[in-house]
Amino acid sequence: MFDFLKGKNKEALVGSPAKGKAVPVSQVNDPTFAEEILGKGVAIIPEDGKICAPAAGEIAMVFDTLHAFSMTTREGVELLVHIGLETVSLKGKGFTAHVKAGDKVDKGDLVITADLDLIKGEGLDTIIPVIVCNTEEFKAVESLAGKDVSVGDDVLKISLK
């Protein structure tokens, strides 16, 4: 009877996990991200180390080394948020997790705190790729890069099938 209401929400929006500048994922100095091997996405050059949930959903995994987390949004978007490049080598040094796998989060909830000065001091890049790992399940994944962002500001627009 109300079939006309079905599918009205045909897009999902993903917010920035950090305050900073949103740039195209092609600018990430790592081919795994830049060439979209893991999926389409965007990257954030962070201004501070508060890394937050980019959408409402469930934390799927917090890596043992605390340099990345994955989550599934309420719309079924599987996201990987990777804090810095080669930061796995820090083995958790400079990172504090505020959630664990299975936790429900709202957009903007604090997930990980990263010591950006420590990361830079180790000679590592602090850029934060935000990747849609199940890109092929959607009509389109559009980056909204090229702007300064605060936590939660839209950086990805995903067209649902």
Q: Which residues are catalytic?
A: 82
Q: Name the phi and psi angles at 24, rounded to 5.
A: -60, 145
- Centre a 10 Å sphere on the Cβ of residue 143 and count the other Cβ atoms it contains: 19
Inter-residue contact 28 to 129 (CB < 8 Å): yes
**Which residues, listed in sequence order, are joined to residue 71 by a DSSP beta bridge?**
59, 79
Inter-residue contact 129 to 41 (CB < 8 Å): yes
